[in-house]
């Protein structure tokens, strides 16, 4: 994993609300853009962040229409709705391990996408899971024009991780100059499929179509391994710096230099 990076850091920030989690990602990205991360940890450093969600949340891609999600039902169930800084489609975050990767690098987006997923794939193999890469790239412009594309997990991008052709890690990226953020979801159970409860029905048969796609095209880690959040984080940390290297684990106090972002991310279903 280390590749072009001199130092690899990891931090587990635990459970947080949808707005907290997305603002934390943006604060970290901002720290790379303004140079404060480099001053703190040196040039050529990258960071992995691990976290979960409490309460459960629906996150939308930053260009997604919020009306595709039933905000009233989310409020009734105590489910956050938050907008991600990255693209893609809606994800229901409940019982999952979420990761973020941050770096200042000229490496192409695709190279980072593959590099990050290779490290996660090695960790999953240690947990008894046998993932492989998706080898094709869908036409997302065409797919996003269809009603059933409201959810993220019904389609895999090139170099995303699958098991037996079913998506097990969903990731997205955002780049500002040389600064890149990549974050993604790893469902620990089938609860990610509960997103159908929060999709506005729209055209007849939409919910049934999405349900079928989620059942055919997605997987969760509990199908293949008893490893839970804590154990999986340890395994990814063990692989994050690559063979023969070790990542350095940070405490929250090590990130005390982070500043608030200028425009807080709204919670659409407080």
> Which residues are marked as active site?
152
* Half-sphere exposure (Cβ direction) of 255: Cα atoms closer than 13 Å: 23
* Half-sphere exposure (Cβ direction) of 8: Cα atoms closer than 13 Å: 22
Tokens standing for residue 58: 């629906």
- DSSP of 41-93: H-TTEEEEEEEEESS-EEEE-TTS-GGGB-HHHHHHHT-EEEE-SS-S-BEEE
d(C-alpha 53, C-alpha 60), whole Å: 15
d(C-alpha 61, C-alpha 139), whole Å: 17
d(C-alpha 48, C-alpha 2), whole Å: 12
Residue 83: count of CB within 10 angstroms of its CB: 19
d(C-alpha 4, C-alpha 134), whole Å: 24
């Amino acid at each position: 994993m280390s590749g072009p990076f001199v130092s690899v850091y990891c931090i587990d920030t635990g459970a947080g609300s949808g707005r907290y989690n997305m603002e934390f990602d943006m604060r970290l990205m901002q720290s790379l853009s303004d140079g404060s991360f480099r001053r703190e940890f040196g040039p050529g450093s990258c960071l992995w962040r691990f976290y979960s969600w409490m309460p459960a949340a629906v996150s939308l891609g930053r260009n997604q229409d919020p009306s595709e999600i039933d905000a009233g039902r989310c409020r009734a169930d105590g489910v956050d709705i938050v907008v991600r800084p990255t693209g893609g489609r809606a994800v229901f975050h409940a019982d999952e391990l979420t990761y973020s990767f941050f770096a200042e690098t000229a490496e192409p987006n695709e190279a980072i996408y593959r590099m990050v997923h290779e490290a996660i794939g090695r960790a999953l193999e240690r947990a008894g899971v046998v993932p492989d890469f998706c080898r094709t790239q869908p036409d997302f412009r065409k797919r996003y024009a269809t009603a059933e594309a409201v959810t993220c997990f019904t389609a895999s991008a090139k170099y995303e991780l699958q098991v037996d052709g079913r998506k097990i890690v969903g990731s997205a990226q955002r780049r500002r100059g040389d600064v890149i953020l990549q974050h993604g979801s790893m469902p620990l159970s089938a609860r990610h499929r509960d997103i159908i409860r929060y999709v506005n029905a729209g055209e007849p048969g939409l919910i049934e179509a999405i349900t079928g796609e989620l059942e055919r095209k997605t997987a969760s880690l509990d199908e293949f391994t008893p490893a839970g959040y804590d154990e999986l984080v340890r395994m990814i940390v063990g692989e994050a710096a690559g063979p023969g290297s070790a990542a350095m684990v940070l405490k929250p106090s090590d990130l005390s230099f982070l500043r608030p972002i200028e425009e807080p991310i709204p919670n659409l279903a407080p």
